Structure 1
C-alpha cells in the first residue's frame, strides 16, 4: 500500500495564485517526514489548476512523499483513462501515487464543463460501473477488459503498463450506496470531517464493514483515512471539535489519536483552513505529526489490499 497504516498527510490546494506556496508545501512535507499529500480535483473552478498536471509537477520535484487525488471526479475523467493516468504517475514517481475517486459533486458545474448532468442516483450508478472498469484495468492478470454497462463501456481494452504494485483506489463517499460500493470495491475510504463529523463515523463505518463482509472481504483490508479540516492555534487557545477541529497542537494530538482508537481511522490528512497554510503546515509537521504518526512494521509496510 502506498499510504501505510499510521500515516499523516497534508492537503495542498491546486490554486493558480498559490502555485509557489504549493511547491514550498510539497518540499516541506517531503523533507519533514510527512507521508502523503492530497490535492482536490475540481477542474471547473477557474482559479484551480488541473490536479493531475500539478501533482505530476510536484511529484517530480520531491523524493519520497506520496501523492493522492482527493478526490478525482469520475464523471469528467473516463475510468479506463483515469487508471492509465494513475498507473503512469505511479511509474514516473515509483509507488508514490494513490488514486482517490468520487462520484462528482456540483452537477451543473460538471455539465458546464462537458460532463453529464446526472441525478444523484445516476451518478452513483455510473460511479459503480467506473469502479468495476478501474478494478479490471488495474489488474495485471487482465489481458483484455470487456465491460458493457449503461454508463461506461470498454471492448477489449488492453490495460498496462503496470507499476510495480497496483495503484490503490480510495473512495470519497458518504451516502449508503456509495459506502456499500466502498466496502465491496474500494481499497480505502476518504471522508472529510466537514461532511462526516465524528459523531456520524460509527454508522458510516458499519455500512462499509457490512458491505465488505457480504462481498467476502475482510473489512480490515479497507483502509480508513480521515481528512481533518481545521486550524492549529497557539497554546491555551479555545478548542472546538466537530465539522472543523480548532485548538493548540496538544489538542490536535490527543484528538487524532482518539479518532484512531475510537473511530477506527488509521491515517489522517491535515487540511488547514482560515490560516496561513505554510505556517499551519510547519506547526503540524513539528508539533502534531510526530506524536500521531505510527511507523509501520516491515510486514505492514509491504502489505496492500
Structure 2
C-alpha cells in the first residue's frame, strides 16, 4: 500500500507548502496532493484565516523541486474552471513532471457543507448531488475529447478548438463519499478516492467500489482505489499506527492530511 500526503492550502504559506512536499519526497512518501479552493472561507477549521493558494502554481513549483513524487489535485473542483483550462494546466504540469501527474477531480460541495461558503461568496448556486454528478460526467468526457483532439459537447462544448494539449492524458481520479459518485468513478475514471468513511462504512464502500470496478474490461485491475485519512502521519502514529485504522482489503493508497 502506498502512502501520500495531502497538503492543505488553507492559511498556508506557498513556500512552506513546497518545502513540505520536498521533505515528503526525502522521507519516502509516494505522492503529494493539494486542495483546490478559491478562498480560505471554505476552510472547515478557520474560515477566512489566511488564504487558499493556487493548486497548479504550487504543483508546478513542487514538480521543479522533486523528481520522483506523484503529484496532483485532491480534488480539482469542476466549478472552478472550464475543462479546457483544466486540461491546459494538467498538460503544462505534465511537461514539468512527465509521468507523475494525476488529475484528481471532484463534483464540488453540497448544500450545507462548509465548502459551500465559497460558492455563496462568488454567487455560485450549489446544485443537488445528482446534477453535480451529471456535470462531472460532462467534464471528464470533455477532458477525454480534448486529449483525442475532438470538440467537447454539452454545457462545456468547444467549437473547433485545438492546440490545447501535447502530452498524454494523466490518470483521472474522482474523489467522493457517496456510493453513487464512487461507482460513477469506476465507469468514467482511472481511480477513486474515498472520503468521509472509516470502520465498517469504509469496508462497505471499498467492497462496493471493487465490485463495480470488476465490471470494467480489465476486471478492475487497472483501477486505483485510495482513501483520504483526515489526520497527519504523526497523529496516526500516536494512535496506534496504520494498523489501527483496520483498513479493508482492496485499498491501494492512503492519503494523509497535513495542515499548515
TM-score by length of structure 1 reads 0.71
For the 8 Å contact 2:171–2:190, the answer to whether it is kept is yes
- Secondary structure of the equivalent of 2:52? coil
Matching residue of 1:109: 118
Matching residue of 1:297: none
Work out which of the residue numbers 245, 252, 256 in structure 2 matches 1:266.
252
For the 8 Å contact 1:108–1:117, the answer to whether it is kept is no
Query: Any unmatched runs of 5+ in structure 2?
Result: 41-47, 110-114
CA deviations over 1:252-300 (Å, ceiling 9, x no partner): 14246x52xx241111122146xxx6xxxxxxxxxxxxxxxxxxxxxxx
CA deviations over 1:158-191 (Å, ceiling 9, x no partner): 365333x430100101223212210101111112
Matching residue of 1:137: 146
Matching residue of 1:69: 73
1:119 aligns with 2:128: yes
1:187 aligns with 2:182: no
Q: Residue 263 and residue 168 in structure 1: after superposition, are their counterparts in 2 closer, same or farther (change >3 A)?
A: same
* 1:85 CA drift (Å): 1.2
Greater C-alpha radius of gyration:
1
Query: Any unmatched runs of 5+ in structure 1?
Result: 1-5, 234-244, 278-305
CA RMSD of aligned residues (A): 2.6
Matching residue of 1:223: 224
* 1:15 CA drift (Å): 4.0
In the alignment of these two chains, the number of paired residues is 246
Whole-Å Cα distance in 2 between the matches of residues 95 and 125 of structure 1?
29
Matching residue of 1:177: 180
For the 8 Å contact 1:126–1:152, the answer to whether it is kept is no
For the 8 Å contact 1:75–1:104, the answer to whether it is kept is yes
1:168 aligns with 2:179: no
CA deviations over 1:189-224 (Å, ceiling 9, x no partner): 1123xx112321233234434443455452232101
For the 8 Å contact 1:129–1:152, the answer to whether it is kept is yes
Work out which of the residue numbers 90, 100, 115 in structure 1 matches 2:94.
90
Whole-Å Cα distance in 2 between the matches of residues 155 and 201 of structure 1?
42
- Secondary structure of the equivalent of 2:108? coil
* 1:13 CA drift (Å): 1.9
- Secondary structure of the equivalent of 1:109? helix
* 1:100 CA drift (Å): 0.4
For the 8 Å contact 2:172–2:191, the answer to whether it is kept is yes
Q: Residue 146 and residue 9 in structure 1: after superposition, are their counterparts in 2 closer, same or farther (change >3 A)?
A: closer
CA deviations over 1:24-56 (Å, ceiling 9, x no partner): 211211222211101111213252111111221
